[in-house]
Amino acid sequence: MDLTTLGWSDDLARHFEPWRDQGLTPGRVGHEHQHIYRVYLEDGEPLAHVSGRFRHLARTAAEYPAVGDWVAVQPRGQHHRAVIQGVLPRRSRFSRKVAGSTTDEQVVAANVDTVFLVSGLDRDFNPRRIERYLVTSWEGGVSPVVVLNKADLHDDVSPFVEEIRRVAPGVPIHAVSCKSRSGLDELSQYIGPGRTVAMLGSSGVGKSTLINRVLGLERQRTREVREHDSRGRHTTSHRELIVLPAGGLLVDTPGMRELQLWEATTALDETFGDIRALAERCHFRDCRHETEPRCAVREAVDQGHLAPERRESYVRLLRELDALDERRDALALAERKRTDKAAHRALRNFYKPRG
């Protein structure tokens, strides 16, 4: 497979030079399952695992290869698998906090140009969830596009489009129907040679069907959603990088039942630009827009200029990020204590009198 088809660039070639000098080969991660990878190379698609040295040096799960990553590969290794020796710098990523109580980052897709945020125009429609996706997209340097699927369920989809436009000003929005195939041609403008698009959304929104329509063949397995709540079961069980016949690449992902933020340095303000503008008139610089007096944001809600659920969503995300920072600080403190304790023990053993 030609590397240019996979998105190889001159910038990647420069980053790869030290690895090339070691006799390694560039490849792109196409599948990942429990640290076993399928890597796309120019001369094949071998299974691969990371080297022992890589495992020793990796400090977090996010440093391991993710689907879409470019990697330095030793083509043949133990058990006839390729060995990944390193990961090239990511130019973008879509990350979330891992599900549950564990405090760690999960890279859902790397080196993505555009992310299709897919929502169904049924009971799945949820502007609050789209706000979360927007924060995560912008934080990772990925351009978001909102895709409202199942437009055939409504005679007029403009109210849904307008509602999303209010929470995502300036973001492209496309109402499509996989059933009637309406609006699908509009998505082709984001797909092209060397460009990578990720498809994200909750289970049952029609991502697999949408991929089949884009590919022009029934490649991804699909299932009907439940009528009473519009929920679907996962038809995609793992993340996968698909090379499109007409050029370009597409990352399919399992449906997300939850999307917890991992970080948001500027993306929260970018997503909630209306609240940021209002907050400049708040009496307190550090106003949280909850119970503080003379809060311009709450005043805008009271006067009907700002939807109350918009403010509630912003406050909820702020609290979530604060709680995450507290957990990180606690883990960092525990790690420092553990390291200091080990260092003191080593010193005591070193200076212990020898009989």
Question: Residue 175 burial by CB count (10 A; 0-12/13-18/19+): exposed, middle or buried?
Answer: buried
Domain ranges in the chain with CATH number 2.40.50.140:
10-87
Kindly report, residue by residue over 310-347, the tens digit of the pLDDT. 999 999 999 988 888 777 766 666 667 776 676 677 76
Nearest to 86 by CA among 108, 55, 111: 55
- Confidence class of residue 222 from pLDDT cuts 50, 70 and 90? very low
Here the tokens at position 353 are 């009198």
Q: Where along the chain do the CATH 3.40.50.300 domains lie?
A: 93-252
Instruction: Check residue 73 and give its pLDDT.
Output: 96
pTM of the model as a whole: 0.83
Residue 266 has pLDDT above 50, yes or no: yes
Q: What would the 3-class secondary structure string for 215-256 be? A: HCCCCCCCCCCCCCCCCCCCCCCCCEEEECCCCCEEEECCCC
Stretch 147-152: mean pLDDT: 94
Helix (H, G, I), strand (E, B) or coil at 143: strand
Please, are residues 148 and 117 in contact by the beta-carbon 8 Å criterion?
A: no
What pLDDT was estimated at residue 135?
92
Residue type, 151: A
What average pLDDT does the structure give for the chain? 86
Question: How many Å is the maximal CA-CA distance in the chain?
Answer: 90
The CATH class given to the 272-355 domain equals mainly alpha
**Crossing angle for the helix pair 158-167 and 127-139, nearest 10 degrees?**
40
What's the mean pLDDT in 109-133? 92
CATH class of the region 10-87? mainly beta
- Per-residue confidence (pLDDT) for residue 226, from 0 to 100: 43
Distances (CA, A) of 141 to 16, 135, 148, 239: 22, 10, 22, 20
Q: How far apart are CA 352 and CA 36, in angstroms?
A: 46
Where exactly does CATH 1.10.40.50 map onto the chain? 272-355
pLDDT per residue over 54-107, tens digit each? 999 998 889 999 999 999 999 876 567 899 999 999 999 998 887 766 778 889
Which ranges in the chain belong to alpha helices (H)? Answer: 10-20, 52-57, 127-139, 158-167, 207-215, 267-271, 273-279, 296-302, 308-351
Cα separation, 118 vs 136, whole angstroms: 14
pLDDT at 230: 43
- Over residues 152-183, the pLDDT tens digits come to 999 999 999 999 999 999 999 999 998 888 99
* Candidate from 127-131, 232-236, 262-266, 304-308 with smallest mean pLDDT: 232-236
The whole-number average pLDDT for the span 186-199 is 92
CATH fold of 93-252 = Rossmann fold (3.40.50)
pLDDT band at 203, cuts 50/70/90? confident
Q: Which residue has the higher pLDDT, 223 or 155?
A: 155
- Check pLDDT > 60 for residue 217: no
